[in-house]
């Protein structure tokens, strides 16, 4: 009917139409979120005011009538409420069974469950008194998705009209019973002397989404408690056995018929659950309207990582696919196999933008294979396929196309070994390197498909995913920055491309080329360079020409510029190129591309030169070769030069080939140190950490990548049957060991003399023994690590390093002198968090009897101190300073060194004004080390003025040092100015 709606309250008077909808049409829309907020409950403005659809109608006062039964099983509803003569509700005689059939010729709302056969294999009585009496119980589910029955009786198949059904047979051991016949016989009740009509061997359950249609139990019916026939026989003695129920043996049918129209023999219960005492065969069928004759369609299946997955990868392999179906998707799943294994069910795939049931249209589904799973397939390639079932619930129809499998897709290969390669370079998630085909396992293909195995090929790894990419480009010494991998290519035929790349009519040169990760293209710059003498940063590739001239190539306009300077081994960062000034006894020089200015590092120490520069921001790391009075061996020191302050710092670390970069908010220098006939990779962030890895030529990015010689370490690292190759490995910047071992106590070597007893470490789980060392920070505690306000250090701060490989927590015990402490109740063990730049309380206990403070060790290297709360002299005091400026939680100010009695910039005097700032949140003061006055702070930027005469530098390049110059400092980039 149509009509006029009620008078609108908002002035929108218009004619509308109303129509009644057929119940079958409404049933088809039962999964529409625009109609129903949940199964059978309509959407409504108020959360709990939605009406229920007929399949969830339930009158709680109507006795043994289940939710929705009036909708999906009205025959039983009538039978229950209209009993035969002289029969109460307790004993439903189903007299009306003879008047009308309870079996539907058409019912699109139910699953029909037919009990076909029942067999009992276990004889719990061993024939002593009688054989096992099989007691089969079936549970059905109603419109609320609940397993219900009324009156505690047995259900439809026995005497009562409910959704729990049962059958008991005497001496059924060893029989395979045809339940069609067994349930068709009349049943006589001796207690009530009444013969009941034949029982059914079929019954109905509603298609409640996501719920099982039925549950099943099998027992041995006895006078006492019923013993389980779904489990395992145990403890058989003197002719009597016990049958132990296994967890979960109340087995439930599938929420969807995932194996087609029939689910024959409940094999999952028998195999997965060791249900070996009995068995049942049950047939499931569903009636319905054939409203979707097309199977689900699959598109754009892919895996991430898609190529190679290495054991260093810690994440999941993520598979996804787009699936389309006209009626939507009720369930989708994932199958996988390898060449040596059969198909394995991975599990349900889940939609990314909605939830089950999935409506009409295209939707992306995801399945995640965790690391524990894919580790089982090392050395194999994952093959996979998708399975999906539609949402139209027309199971059993002649033309139904409810389910479909996708084609088989090829996923990633789980690698057994690190990639073969040389001279790595890392930036972001990428490690670039070159690989000599001759070093690769013969099982691997010719990398550039030129019918030989004699070329060096540029490859790279995405270390976050483990994917290994082959560029197929011939070249060596790959250097990566962003999406660009720069490399050199020899023109000749041996280890070269056999092409004239720079057009000079020969094939004798080394030419600079680069690969773009984004588009996969190789570009030839035609620039001839010296062997392994180039560097990349941003749009600049610095290089040394064959005539030893320093130059640079601009990727933006693809032009090469020559500086006229002699220079070797360049390293570029931004517009600064650092390089060796001489081939034999070099100094370290640096060239500013923007200004064209060139300077050299001022030498304050005796030596014979600086080598192997690596620059990041304003800091140049390099190797300093010391030669003092002919003493052998000469020492290679890792040095740092700050361009902004014109100062050289000796890290006091011996090593070579330093690489500097920014990671985890800090400046990191990696280098190689010779020991035990090979090199170990060291990391320096203000203190040195041994990574525990052998290797050479480190490169710092978000990780430290390096090359390892199999011959040097005596291992076949790439599993090709020899020890002649080089492989690429990496370590995280924050390295922790996680392998299992046993607990030990590892005393520290050479404890500081002022301790009454040794400081000790207790490792809960240790893989391999090692040495632990302690350094007292009595006089050189970094200013940034000053104690929080109100806290005083007892004794001295200590720095601890260890080479012990361990898992789990480590406890530290630090002795203290009682006479130095005011109140032991105020003591705490504090740990300096370098990432957060603050002290944290890690105390576990204070042993006042033995004067030892205990705390947890979050990681190594670690800086610790015992602190005592002594109170704050003035809550408003931050530090010695003047002319403060505040923004948010940060206060910037300048400090006159003489007033603080500190040499804050390390220049040997106390006459300077130094810029500092204080964080009110972390209660820490940071010394920038920069000379200046009158700071002003906004966000993370501090501006200030500096008189050129104070630092004896011509800051504005006007030829004198008499000016006041405005400078700024970025808190997030503490090494840059």
- pLDDT, residue 779, reads 47
What is the distance between the alpha carbons of residues 117 and 204, in angstroms, rounded to a whole number?
A: 18
Q: What are residue 113's phi and psi, to 5 degrees?
A: -110, 120
- pLDDT, residue 478, reads 97
State the Cα torsion 714-720-725-728 to the nearest 10°: -90
CA 170 from chain center: how many Å? 58
> Structure tokens of 126?
């061993």
Mean pLDDT of successive 10-residue segments in the chain (977 residues)? 58 68 80 79 81 84 73 79 47 47 80 79 59 75 66 40 62 77 68 62 75 71 62 56 49 40 39 59 58 75 85 82 83 88 88 81 90 81 90 47 83 81 92 90 69 89 76 96 96 91 94 95 96 95 97 96 96 96 86 94 64 93 69 70 87 90 80 87 77 89 91 82 87 46 35 42 69 62 66 82 75 83 87 77 86 84 84 59 84 88 83 88 82 90 91 87 89 68
Three-class secondary structure of residue 227 per DSSP: strand
- pLDDT, residue 560, reads 96
Label the pairing between strands 41-42 and 194-196.
unpaired
- pLDDT, residue 422, reads 95
Question: Quick one: which H or E segment has residue 26?
Answer: helix 23-28
CB 177 within 8 A of CB 43: no
Set out the domains of the chain in order of their start, with CATH numbers. 2-56 (no CATH), 69-286 (2.60.40.150), 297-414 (2.60.40), 742-869 (2.60.220), 882-970 (no CATH)
Question: Quick one: which H or E segment has residue 374?
Answer: helix 371-374
What is the distance between the alpha carbons of residues 436 and 444, in angstroms, rounded to a whole number?
A: 12
Question: Quick one: which H or E segment has residue 112?
Answer: strand 110-120
- pLDDT, residue 564, reads 95
CA 558 from chain center: how many Å? 39
CB 589 within 8 A of CB 579: yes
CB 930 within 8 A of CB 977: yes
DSSP string, 238-292: TTEEEEEEPTT-SEE--SS-TTSS---S-HHHHHTT---SEEEEEEEEE------
CB 114 within 8 A of CB 156: no
pTM of the complete model: 0.42
**Burial class of residue 632 (count of CB atoms within 10 Å of its CB; 0-12, 13-18, 19+):** exposed
CA 325 from chain center: how many Å? 32
DSSP string, 379-444: TSEEEEEEEEEESS--TT-TT---EEEPPPEEEEEE-SSPPB-EEEEEETTEEEEEEEGGGS-TTS
Per the DSSP assignment, residues forming a β-bridge with 219 are 135, 228
Reduced 3-state DSSP string for 828-855: EEEEEECCCCEEEECEEEEECCCCEEEE
What is the distance between the alpha carbons of residues 892 and 191, in angstroms, rounded to a whole number?
A: 96
Three-class secondary structure of residue 366 per DSSP: strand
């Amino acid at each position: 009917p149509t009509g006029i709606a009620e008078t609108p309250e908002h002035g929108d008077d218009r004619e509308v139409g109303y129509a009644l909808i057929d119940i079958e049409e409404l049933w088809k829309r039962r999964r529409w979120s625009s109609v129903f907020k949940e199964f059978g409950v309509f959407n409504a403005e108020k959360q709990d005011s939605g009406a229920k659809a007929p399949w969830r109608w339930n009158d709680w006062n109507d006795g043994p009538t289940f939710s929705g039964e009036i909708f999906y099983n009205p025959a039983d509803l009538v039978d229950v409420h209209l009993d035969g003569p002289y029969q109460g509700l307790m004993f439903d005689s189903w007299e009306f069974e003879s008047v009308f059939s309870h079996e539907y010729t058409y019912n699109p709302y139910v699953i029909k469950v037919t009990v076909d056969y029942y067999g009992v294999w276990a004889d719990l009585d061993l024939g002593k008194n009688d054989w096992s009496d099989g007691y089969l119980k079936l549970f059905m589910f109603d419109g609320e998705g609940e397993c219900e029955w009324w009156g505690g009786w047995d259900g439809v198949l026995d005497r009562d009209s409910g959704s729990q059904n049962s059958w008991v047979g005497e001496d059924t051991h060893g029989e395979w019973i045809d339940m069609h016949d067994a349930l068709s016989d009349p049943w006589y009740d001796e207690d009530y002397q009444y013969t009941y009509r034949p029982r059914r061997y079929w019954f109905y359950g509603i298609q409640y989404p996501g719920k099982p249609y039925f549950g099943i139990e099998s027992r041995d019916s006895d006078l006492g408690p019923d013993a389980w026939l779904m489990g395992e026989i145990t403890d058989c003695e003197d002719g009597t056995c016990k049958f132990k129920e296994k967890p979960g043996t109340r087995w439930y049918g599938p929420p969807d018929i995932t194996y087609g129209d029939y689910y024959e023999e409940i094999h999952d219960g028998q195999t997965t659950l060791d249900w070996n005492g009995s068995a049942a065969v049950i047939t499931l069928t569903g009636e319905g309207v054939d409203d979707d004759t097309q199977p689900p369609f699959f598109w754009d299946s892919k895996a991430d990582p898609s190529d190679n997955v290495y054991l260093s990868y810690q994440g999941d392999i993520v598979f996804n696919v787009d699936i389309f179906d006209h009626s939507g998707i009720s369930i989708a799943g994932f199958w996988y196999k390898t060449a040596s294994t059969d198909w394995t069910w991975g599990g349900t795939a889940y939609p990314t933008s909605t939830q089950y049931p999935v409506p009409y249209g295209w939707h992306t589904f995801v399945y995640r294979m965790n690391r524990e799973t894919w580790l089982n397939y090392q050395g194999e390639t994952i093959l996979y396929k998708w399975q999906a079932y539609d949402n139209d619930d027309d199971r059993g129809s002649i033309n139904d196309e409810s389910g479909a499998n996708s084609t088989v897709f090829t996923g990633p290969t789980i690698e057994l070994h690190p990639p073969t390669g040389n001279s790595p370079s890392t930036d972001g998630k990428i490690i670039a390197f070159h690989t000599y085909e001759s070093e690769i396992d013969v099982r691997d293909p010719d990398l550039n498909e030129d019918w030989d195995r004699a070329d060096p090929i540029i490859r790279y790894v995405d270390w976050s995913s483990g994917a290994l990419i082959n560029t197929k480009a011939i070249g060596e010494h790959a250097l990566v920055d962003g999406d660009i991998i720069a490399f050199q290519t020899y023109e000749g035929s041996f280890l070269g491309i056999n092409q004239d790349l720079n057009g000079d009519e020969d094939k004798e040169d080394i030419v600079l080329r680069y690969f773009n990760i984004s588009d996969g293209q190789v570009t030839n710059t035609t620039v001839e360079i010296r062997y392994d003498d180039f560097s990349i940063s941003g749009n600049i590739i610095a290089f040394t020409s064959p005539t030893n001239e320093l130059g640079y190539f601009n990727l933006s306009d693809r032009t090469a510029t020559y500086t006229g300077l002699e220079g070797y081994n360049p390293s570029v960062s931004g517009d600064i190129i650092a390089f060796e000034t001489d081939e034999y006894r070099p100094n370290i020089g640096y060239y500013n591309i923007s200004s064209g200015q060139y300077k050299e590092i001022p030498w304050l120490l005796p030596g014979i030169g600086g080598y192997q520069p690596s620059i990041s921001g304003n800091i140049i790391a390099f190797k300093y070769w010391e030669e003092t009075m002919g003493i052998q061996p000469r020492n290679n020191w890792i040095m740092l030069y700050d361009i902004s302050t014109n100062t050289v710092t000796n890290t006091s670390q011996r090593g070579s080939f330093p690489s500097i970069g920014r990671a985890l908010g800090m400046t990191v220098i990696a280098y190689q140190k010779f020991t035990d006939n090979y090199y170990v990779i060291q990391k320096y962030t203000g203190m040195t950490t041994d990574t525990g890895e052998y290797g050479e030529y480190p490169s710092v990015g978000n990780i430290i990548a390096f090359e390892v010689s199999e011959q040097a370490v005596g291992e076949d690292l790439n599993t090709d049957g020899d020890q002649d190759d080089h492989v690429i490995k990496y370590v995280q910047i924050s390295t922790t060991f996680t392998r299992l071992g046993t607990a030990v106590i590892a005393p520290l070597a050479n404890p500081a003399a002022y301790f009454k007893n040794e400081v000790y470490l207790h490792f809960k789980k240790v893989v391999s023994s090692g040495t632990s060392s302690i350094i007292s920070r009595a006089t050189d505690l970094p200013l940034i690590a000053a104690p929080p306000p109100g806290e005083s250090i007892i004794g001295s701060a200590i720095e601890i390093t260890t080479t012990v490989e361990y898992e789990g927590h480590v406890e530290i015990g630090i002795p203290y002198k009682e006479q130095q402490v005011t109140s032991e109740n105020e003591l705490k063990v504090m740990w300096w968090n370098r990432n957060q730049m603050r002290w944290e309380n890690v105390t576990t206990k204070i042993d006042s009897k033995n004067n030892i403070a205990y705390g947890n060790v979050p990681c190594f290297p670690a800086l610790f101190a015992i602190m005592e709360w002594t109170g704050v002299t003035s809550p408003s005091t931050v530090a010695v300073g003047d002319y403060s400026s505040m923004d948010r939680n940060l206060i910037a100010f300048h400090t006159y060194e003489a007033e603080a009695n500190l040499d804050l910039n390390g220049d040997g005097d106390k006459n300077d004004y130094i810029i500092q700032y204080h964080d009110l949140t972390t209660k820490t003061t940071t010394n920038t080390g920069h000379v200046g006055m009158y700071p002003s702070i906004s966000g993370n930027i501090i501006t200030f003025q500096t008189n050129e005469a104070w630092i004896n530098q011509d800051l504005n390049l006007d030829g004198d040092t008499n000016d006041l110059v405005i400078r700024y400092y970025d808190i997030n980039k503490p090494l840059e100015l």
